[in-house]
Chains A and B, each alone.
Chain A
Amino acid sequence: MSTRKSMNRRDFLKTSVAASAGVSLFTIIPASAMGRGGKIAPSNRITLGCVGVGGQGNSNLDAFLNEQDCQVIAVCDVDKNHLRDTKGKVDRRYRNTDCSPYADFRELIARKDIDAISLCTPDHWHAVPAVLAASSGKDIFGEKPISHCLAEGRAMSDAVSKHSRIWQTGSWQRSVENFRMGCELVRNGRIGKIVKVEVGLPTGSPCGPVEFKDAPPELDYNFWVGPSRMMPYCDMRTHWNWRWQLDFGGGQMMDWIGHHLDIAHWGMDTDNTGPIEIEGQGNYPDTGIWDAATTYHFICKYRNGVELHVANGGNAGIRGGTKWIGENGNWVWVDRGGFDANPKSLLAEKIGPDEHQLFRSPGHHRNFLDCVKSRQTTLAPAETAHRSASVGHLGQIAMQLGRKLHWNPDNETFAGDPAATRMLSTPMRSPWHV
Chain B
Amino acid sequence: MNVYTRTSIAAGIILAAMASSLSANAQDPFQSLKKYDPQDRKSLIAIRKMIQEAGLDRMKQATLESGLIAVLDDANGNLAGKQEAAKFLWIIGSGKSVPALSRMLGKPETNDIARYALEHNPDPSAASALRSALKASSGTELVGIVNSIGDRADVGSVDSLKSYTGNSDSVVSDAAITALGKIGTPSAIKILSNIKPPTLVTENAILRAFDKATATATPALSEKDFMMLVGPNNPYAIRAGALAGLASIKSPRTSSTALNIAKTASEPTLQRTAGRIAVSSASPADDQRALAAWPSMPSSVQIAMLNAWADKKDVSAASVAMTALKSDEADVRVAGIRSSIKLCDASVVPSLIDIASGGDQANVARENLAMMSGPKVESMLIESAMTGKRESRNAAINILANRTTQASTNALITIGGSNDPAVSPTALKALGRTAGIDREGKLVEILTAAKDDGIRDSAQTAVVAIIQRSGDTNRGADVLISQFAKANDAGKSSLLAALAELGGSHALSLFSESLVSGDSTVKSAAASALSDTWQDGSALPLLLDLAKNGKSKAERVQPLRGYFRIVGAEDRVGDDQRLTRVKNGLAIAERPEEKNQALSILRRIRSSGSIAVAGSLVSDPDVENEAASAVLDLATERRRGNTTIPAVKGDAANAALDRVIRTTKDKAIKDKAEEIRHP
Contacts and interface: CB of A to CB of B under 8 A. Distances in A.
Given A164-B269, A352-B404, A354-B373, A374 B147 contact: no
A286 B42 contact: yes
Interface stretch (B356-364, B511-519, B606-614): B356-364
Interface stretch (B138-146, B281-289, B496-504, B523-531): B138-146
B363 A21 contact: yes
A163 B300 CA distance: 15
Interface in B353-403: 360-368, 370-374, 377-378, 398, 402-403
Nearest to A23: B363
A374 B334 contact: yes
Nearest to B45: A286
B92 A419 contact: yes
A353 B366 contact: no
A388 B626 CA distance: 56
A25 B147 contact: no
Contact of B364 (A18, A27, A352, A425): A18
B366 A25 contact: yes
A27 B363 CA distance: 8
Interface stretch (B48-56, B535-543, B565-573): B48-56
B562 interface: no
Given A4-B267, A27-B363, A416-B56, A22 B39 contact: no
A375 interface: yes
B38 A289 contact: yes
B39 A287 contact: yes
A33 B120 CA distance: 55
B374 to A, nearest CB: 7
A430 B112 contact: yes
Contacts of A430: 111-112, 115, 140-141, 143-144, 147
A433 B175 contact: yes
Given A11-B300, A286-B41, 11 more contacts: A15-B330, A17-B330, A26-B398, A162-B211, A164-B272, A350-B436, A353-B371, A376-B338, A419-B61, A430-B115, A430-B141
B486 to A, nearest CB: 29
B213 to A, nearest CB: 14
B271 to A, nearest CB: 10
8 contacts: A14-B331, A22-B361, A23-B363, A209-B39, A231-B38, A288-B39, A400-B52, A429-B144
Given A15-B330, A351-B404, A431-B171, A22 B368 contact: yes
Given A353-B373, A422-B91, A422-B120, A25 B402 contact: yes
Given A15-B330, A288-B39, A428-B147, A401 B51 contact: yes
Contacts of A425: 120, 151
B116 A229 contact: yes
B207 interface: yes
A229 B151 CA distance: 17
B651 interface: no
B38 A431 contact: no
A3 interface: yes
Contacts of B398: 25-26
A29 B90 CA distance: 55
Contacts of B91: 419, 422-423
Interface string A350-363: 11111001001000
A164 B582 CA distance: 62
Contacts of A164: 269, 272-273
A25 B267 CA distance: 35
Contacts of A162: 207, 211
Interface of B: 38-42, 44-45, 48-49, 51-53, 55-56, 61, 83, 87, 90-92, 111-112, 115-116, 119-120, 122, 140-141, 143-144, 147-148, 150-151, 171, 175, 178, 200, 203-204, 207, 211, 267-269, 272-273, 300, 303-304, 307, 330-331, 333-335, 338, 360-368, 370-374, 377-378, 398, 402-405, 436
Contacts of B373: 353-354
Contacts of A21: 334, 363-364
A284 B151 contact: no
A2 B199 CA distance: 11
Nearest to A17: B331
Contacts of B404: 350-352
B175 A26 contact: no
Interface of B (DSSP majority class): helix
B333 A2 contact: no
Contacts of A230: 112
Contacts of A158: 211
A33 B111 CA distance: 58
A287 B335 CA distance: 57
**Most chain A beta carbons < 10 A, residue from B55, B331, B338, B436:** B331
A232 interface: yes
A7 B331 contact: no
A285 interface: yes
10 tightest A-B CB contacts, nearest first: A430-B144, A402-B52, A22-B364, A18-B330, A22-B363, A431-B143, A22-B367, A433-B147, A422-B120, A427-B116
Contacts of A432: 147
A7 B268 contact: yes
A2 B200 CA distance: 9
Nearest to B90: A422
Interface of A: 1-4, 7-8, 11, 14-15, 17-19, 21-27, 29-30, 32-33, 135-137, 158, 162-164, 209-210, 212, 229-232, 284-289, 291, 348, 350-354, 357, 360, 374-376, 400-403, 416-419, 422-423, 425, 427-433
A26 B307 contact: no
Contacts of A350: 404-405, 436
**Most chain B beta carbons < 10 A, residue from A137, A416, A427:** A427
Contacts of B148: 427
B39 A289 contact: yes
Contacts of A135: 200, 203-204
A403 B140 CA distance: 38
Nearest to B338: A376
A375 B303 contact: yes
Given A11-B300, A401-B51, A425-B151, A24 B367 contact: yes
A353 B370 contact: yes
Nearest to B122: A418
Nearest to A4: B267
Contacts of B372: 353
A285 B39 CA distance: 10
Nearest to A15: B330
Given A287-B39, A431-B140, A1 B200 contact: yes
Contacts of B42: 286-287
A324 B171 CA distance: 50
B267 A427 contact: no
A423 B207 CA distance: 26
Contacts of B370: 25, 353
A344 to B, nearest CB: 11
A433 B204 contact: no
A51 B276 CA distance: 31
B367 to A, nearest CB: 4
Contacts of B402: 25, 360
B425 to A, nearest CB: 14
A427 B178 contact: no
Given A289-B38, A374-B334, A376-B338, A22 B120 contact: no
Contacts of B115: 427, 430
B41 A3 contact: no
Given A352-B404, A417-B56, A18 B361 contact: yes
A287 B116 contact: no
Contact of B119 (A15, A25, A427): A427
Contact of A353 (B56, B364, B377): B377
B122 A427 contact: no
Given A352-B404, A353-B373, A284 B45 contact: yes
Given A163-B269, A430-B111, A431-B147, A403 B55 contact: yes
A162 B91 CA distance: 30
Contact of B371 (A15, A232, A357): A357
